């Protein structure tokens, strides 16, 4: 690839990310990762990726795990880990190990966020990582007759203290340890702390970077998106490996308690948090309370998103120019497809009741989401809107998309078959082709 093609691609790519940057600026993401990520040497790169999110105006709270580091500390002391039903029994000696591990990890994380050499992704970043006694915990207690001792669960997150810190540009770090009003320290799970933090902070996203691979069902098919209800059904079917089920269970809890999106993203893929956040399909599994993709009539808030979809097509002549004021005025004519808060498809319907016809215009699906049937879904939706208005024919004017419409039941027609008012507006220089479909 030559330098010119390279720069064209770069510009296209950067523009394709713009809607996500607009959508996520000012939002709060809780990002949690297991101790395995640090052990695998992935911390410096993760710090670079998270500092990029921070630079884009996303408020980041991070939560680290420490399981392998605690195991290491136990091994150094010649102690065997004790578990009951997958839960660690934390006695006083194991607690010392957990504290040691958390202290070391905190320092490593602070060091990673202090990178800033020139010509690296973190040059000029100057991020301040803030941690403290933000997590209140209580003991898990006695389960099936086994006292879990200092193993606890999160009771409260000091969101009222964390919120001003992230609002002021700080990055908050939470360890899997919590404190009780009796002055004790409790050993918690990273998943529990992260979920409680996301709920308490009313975070927009909870993201688990997982050591487990992308989730798949019993047939081996990848699972990329789930509603909370589907995730619960999957958990009930007990087909998932225990580690994956544990993550998913926490995603469901977050989702059920108001976190709009919870993600499980394997950290093994380079840049996976960036890919998950800034690409349409992502690289992980996303759990949401309701259906992610919604196809609906547009509102005035969608004007910016629609303009972004249209702009490149105006520039290359596929679509006629439409100024913002026009779209604002005609917003009721538009329908949009939205995914995770980002508009990635639109179309407009202009009825001509006297002739029982309607024009569908401005049909666009963003390039990174094309060929997945969304263009067709938009068309069907517009056909239904036209039918609901009692209209019998749908027509389109197109210069470059003729075959797409032909394949979907449209027939070529001439300008004089159009409604009179539309004929008078026909642009004879543009020479668009006319296609009509009976509804």
Ligand X SMILES: CC(C)(COP(=O)(O)OP(=O)(O)OC[C@H]1O[C@@H](n2cnc3c(N)ncnc32)[C@H](O)[C@@H]1OP(=O)(O)O)[C@@H](O)C(=O)NCCC(=O)NCCS
Q: Which residues bind ligand X (CB under 6 A)?
A: 313, 318-319, 363-365, 370-376, 396, 398, 400-401, 403-404
Q: Which two tokens stand for residue 5?
A: 């093609």
Sequence-distant (6+) residues with CB within 8 A of 370 are none
Nearer to ligand X, 266 or 282 (CB): 282
Q: Smallest gap, in angstroms, from Cβ of residue 424 to ligand X?
A: 20
Report in angstroms how near the CB of residue 321 gets to ligand X at its nearest.
Answer: 13
- CB nearer to ligand X: give 179 or 350: 350
Q: Which is nearer to ligand X, 356 or 370 (CB)?
A: 370
Least separation in angstroms between residue 364's CB and ligand X is: 4
State the minimum distance, in angstroms, from the CB of residue 362 to ligand X. 7
**Nearer to ligand X by C-beta: 126 or 311?**
311
At residue 147, the 3 state secondary structure works out as strand
Nearest Cα to Cα of residue 280 among 228, 227, 225: 225
Centre a 10 Å sphere on the Cβ of residue 171 and count the other Cβ atoms it contains: 24
Question: Residue 247 is encoded by which pair of tokens?
Answer: 């993550």
Closest approach of Cβ 343 to ligand X, in Å?
13
CB of 79 to ligand X, least distance (A): 58
- As given in the structure block, the two tokens for residue 151 are 């193993």
Looking at the Cβ atoms of 81 and 351, the one nearer to ligand X is: 351
* End-to-end CA separation in angstroms for the chain: 47
To ligand X, the closest distance from the beta carbon of 326 in angstroms equals 17
From 200, 174, 184, 88, select the one nearest 138 (Cα to Cα): 184
To ligand X, the closest distance from the beta carbon of 167 in angstroms equals 38
DSSP, collapsed to helix, strand or coil, labels residue 311 as: helix
Least distance CB 3 / ligand X (angstroms): 28
Nearer to ligand X, 35 or 375 (CB): 375
Cβ burial, residue 133 (10 Å; 0-12/13-18/19+):
exposed
CA distance 394 to 413: 12
User: How does DSSP classify residue 389?
Assistant: T
CB of 241 to ligand X, least distance (A): 34
Residue placing its CB nearer to ligand X in the complex, 144 or 316:
316
Nearer Cβ to ligand X (47/319): 319
CB contact at 8 A, 17 and 47 = no
User: Whose CB is nearest to ligand X?
Assistant: 375
- List the Cα angle 333/430/331 in 5-degree steps: 10
Name which of 79, 104, 72 is nearest 93 in CA terms: 79
**Rounded Cα distance, 199 and 195, in Å:** 6
Residue 363 CB, nearest approach to ligand X (Å)? 5
Q: For 91, list phi and psi in degrees, rounded to 5.
A: -85, 180
Neighbours of 290 (CB within 10 A): 10
When the beta carbons of 198 and 348 are compared against ligand X, the nearer one is 348
Q: The tokens of 180 are what?
A: 């009780």
Cα 81–chain centre separation: 36
Which CB, 373 or 390, lies closer to ligand X?
A: 373
| Alpha helices by DSSP H, 56-91 | 67-76
Handedness of CA 182, 188, 192, 197 (dihedral sign): positive
Which two structure tokens, joined as six digits, stand for 425?
Answer: 């507006």
Residue closer to ligand X (CB basis): 82 or 313: 313
């Amino acid at each position: 690839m030559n330098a010119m093609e390279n720069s064209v691609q770069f510009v296209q790519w950067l523009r394709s990310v713009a809607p996500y940057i607009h959508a996520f600026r000012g939002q709060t993401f809780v990002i949690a990762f297991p101790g395995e990520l640090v052990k695998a040497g992935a911390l410096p790169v993760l710090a670079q990726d998270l500092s990029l999110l921070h630079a884009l105006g996303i408020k980041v709270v991070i939560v680290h795990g420490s399981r392998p580091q605690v195991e290491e500390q136990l091994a150094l002391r010649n102690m065997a880990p004790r578990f009951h039903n997958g839960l660690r029994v934390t006695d006083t000696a194991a607690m010392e190990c957990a504290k040691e591990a958390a202290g070391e990890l905190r320092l490593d994380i602070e060091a990673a966020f202090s990178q800033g050499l020139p010509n690296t992704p973190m040059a000029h970043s100057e991020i301040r990582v803030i941690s403290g006694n933000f997590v209140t915990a209580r003991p898990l207690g006695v389960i099936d007759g086994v006292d879990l001792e200092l193993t606890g669960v999160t009771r409260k997150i000091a969101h009222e203290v964390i919120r001003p810190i992230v609002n002021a540009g700080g990055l908050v770090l939470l360890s899997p340890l919590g404190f009780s009003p009796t002055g004790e320290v409790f050993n918690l799970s990273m998943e529990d702390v992260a979920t409680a933090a996301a709920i308490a902070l009313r975070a927009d996203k909870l993201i688990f970077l997982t050591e487990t691979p992308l989730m798949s069902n019993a047939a081996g098919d990848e699972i990329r998106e789930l509603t909370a209800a589907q995730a619960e059904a999957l958990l009930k079917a007990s087909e998932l490996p225990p580690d994956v089920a544990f993550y998913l269970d926490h995603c469901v809890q977050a989702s059920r308690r108001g976190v709009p999106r919870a993600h499980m993203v394997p950290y093994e893929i380079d840049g996976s948090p960036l890919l998950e956040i800034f690409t349409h399909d992502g690289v992980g599994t996303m759990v949401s309370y309701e259906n992610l993709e919604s196809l609906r009539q547009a509102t005035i808030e969608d004007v910016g998103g629609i303009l972004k979809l249209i702009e490149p097509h105006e520039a290359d002549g596929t679509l006629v120019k439409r100024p913002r004021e026009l779209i604002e005025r005609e917003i009721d004519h538009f329908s949009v497809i939205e995914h995770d808060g980002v508009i990635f498809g639109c179309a407009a319907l202009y009825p001509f009741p006297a002739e029982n016809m309607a024009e569908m215009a401005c049909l666009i699906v963003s390039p990174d989401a094309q060929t997945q049937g969304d263009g067709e879904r938009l068309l069907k939706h517009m056909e239904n809107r036209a039918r609901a208005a009692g209209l019998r024919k749908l027509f389109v004017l197109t210069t470059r998309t003729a075959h797409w419409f032909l394949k979907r039941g449209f027939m070529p027609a001439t300008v004089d078959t159009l409604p009179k008012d539309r004929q008078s507006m026909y642009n004879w220089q543009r020479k668009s082709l006319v296609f009509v479909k009976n509804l």
